[in-house]
A = this chain, B = another copy of it.
């Protein structure tokens, strides 16, 4: 339970009231995903210790894992030098990506074009029902 007041005054939200948040697995260092937070999502994440984003498509709070069963537990909350990006060190249960990959960055750009460099760990049908 962390009081979000200091964080909320240090973060510079953009013109839409949002800030990008990078999620990194706290022990392995894997970069899992990048999503957006509004003031309410920052507050809920710090108070609850469970990561909550803001979904730009649904225009609503997105409590990570609520539908998929793959939540992120907050380990530390960092703000960058100019206050416009957040780094969340988390413990990701299962997979971070809605495609069922462990993280969202499974497409590598190389001399032969695009390559998928990591497997689907949990099929999306298992994550979201059939």
Q: Are B34 and A20 in contact (CB under 8 A)?
A: yes
Q: Are A2 and B110 in contact (CB under 8 A)?
A: yes
A7 → chain B, closest Cβ, in Å?
4
Interface digits, A100-115 against B, CB 8 Å rule (1 contact, 0 not)?
A: 0100111111110110
Which of B31, B81, B101, B111 touches A31 (beta carbons < 8 Å)? B31
Asked whether A81 and B104 contact (CB < 8 A) given A29-B30, A31-B22, A31-B24, the answer is: yes
Asked whether A81 and B109 contact (CB < 8 A) given A10-B114, A114-B10, the answer is: no
Interface digits, A1-45 against B, CB 8 Å rule (1 contact, 0 not)?
A: 111101100100000000010101000111101100000000000
Asked whether A80 and B109 contact (CB < 8 A) given A31-B22, A31-B31, the answer is: no
**Is A67 an interface residue, CB under 8 A from the partner?**
no
Interface digits, A67-92 against B, CB 8 Å rule (1 contact, 0 not)?
A: 00000000011111110010100000
